Structure 1
Amino acid sequence: MFVINCKNYEEIAGDNIIKFIKIAEKVSKKFNVKIAIAPPQHLIGLVSNSSIPILAQHIDVSKVGSTTGFIIPELLKKSKVKGSLINHSEHRISSDEIKKLVIKLKELKMLSIVCVKDVAEAKKYAKLNPDYIAIEPPELIGSGKAVSKERPELIKKAADAIKNATKTKLLCGAGIVSGQDVAKAKELGSKGILVASGIVKAKDWNAIMSEFAKSMV
């Protein structure tokens, strides 16, 4: 799994998100790699009919109906969104909310990607059996310093921590900026990557996506 979190980067604003998605579709098909993209929340409707999975960057514990300003999983599904990031380091939520949201996404048969900052959290939330646990040390996010190089033992320990989860797979994030970083993460036990600025802020989206995808196969 190759997940790209677009955050709220200006590079992806307006119609640029459509160009970005089209490139990802071509790269995914060319290398036969599953790419999923989490656009800014307000742009989801522009790209939800994509041939690759579209994810939300965040969802809320709230209900369908008289609720204002919340991101509701049931409505996302009706808009063809395939799942969501949960508890990203830039949008942390309580453990109780994480549990409720993982359960809700399971009920809806949507993908759940729980973001964690360390091995202790990986072990804790793996018990919920989300589809993915994404480990990202906050200090390395956006730093250009890959966790696979700076703290390789973290990936190994996280992979070991979730091995008893029945279906949860590990994603590696934070500072991944090259195909070498991707290959190293896989070597250490990661089943995929969660990236953001390393892709979105690159000058040539096709080239960098292709480099990452090629390293995954």
Structure 2
Amino acid sequence: MDAPLIVVNFKTYSTALAEHAETLGKLMADVETNARMVAVTSAFDLSSVSSISGLEVWAQHLDPVGQGSHTGWLEPQTAIARGASGTIINHAEHKVSIDHVRDLMSMLPDDFPLVHVLQMSPRLEH
């Protein structure tokens, strides 16, 4: 059986950015558990948090763009170079199209975890 997965999205709260992100990441790395612990950080914190030994770090979002004239977009290869080893996509605060997800998947390494968040509509009773 695979280990349970615990994904902690740091979001963009002041208590989980910059030096606070590093502190939170160190706390996560120190937890003794059989679960796979993943810190999901802001793009600004990828480098510093991914330098923490024993902690898996994912990007909060990536865009299906290459390097070049894409101001404001989050280019996957740079995120990977800065320490992202996975990403979440289509979360409640940043919804994207299925085309965005498909195009992004084609740009990522085969072993790069991607959690695609789905929102299910409540079942209607007839």
Q: TM-score range by the shorter chain?
A: 0.7 to 0.9
Aligned pair partner of 1:47 in 46, 49, 52: 49
Question: Which stretches in structure 2 are left out of the alignment for 5+ residues?
Answer: none
Q: Deviations over 1:42-96 (max 9, x none)?
A: 1222212222111111111111233222111111111221011111111001111
Which amino acid is the alignment partner of residue 34 of structure 1? R
1:91 matches 2:94: yes
Residues in 2 aligned to 1:53 and 1:88: alpha-carbon distance in whole angstroms = 19
Residues in 2 aligned to 1:63 and 1:40: alpha-carbon distance in whole angstroms = 19
Superposed, 1:1-217 pairs within 5 Å as 1-27=5-31, 30-50=32-52, 51-105=54-108, 107=109, 109-118=111-120
Q: Deviations over 1:154-212 (max 9, x none)?
A: xxxxxxxxxxxxxxxxxxxxxxxxxxxxxxxxxxxxxxxxxxxxxxxxxxxxxxxxxxx
Residues in 2 aligned to 1:45 and 1:55: alpha-carbon distance in whole angstroms = 11
Residues in 1 aligned to 2:57 and 2:17: alpha-carbon distance in whole angstroms = 16
Residues in 1 aligned to 2:81 and 2:111: alpha-carbon distance in whole angstroms = 12
Identify the structure with the greater helix proportion.
Answer: 1
| Count of residues in correspondence between the two structures | 118
Residues in 1 aligned to 2:62 and 2:107: alpha-carbon distance in whole angstroms = 10
Residues in 2 aligned to 1:116 and 1:49: alpha-carbon distance in whole angstroms = 30
| Contact 1:74/1:108 (<8 A) preserved | no
Task: Give the root-mean-square deviation of aligned CA atoms.
Answer: 2.0
| Contact 1:21/1:47 (<8 A) preserved | yes
Residues in 2 aligned to 1:108 and 1:80: alpha-carbon distance in whole angstroms = 16
Shift of 1:114: 0.3
| Contact 2:46/2:83 (<8 A) preserved | no
| Contact 2:43/2:79 (<8 A) preserved | no
How much identity, in percent, do the aligned residues show? 25
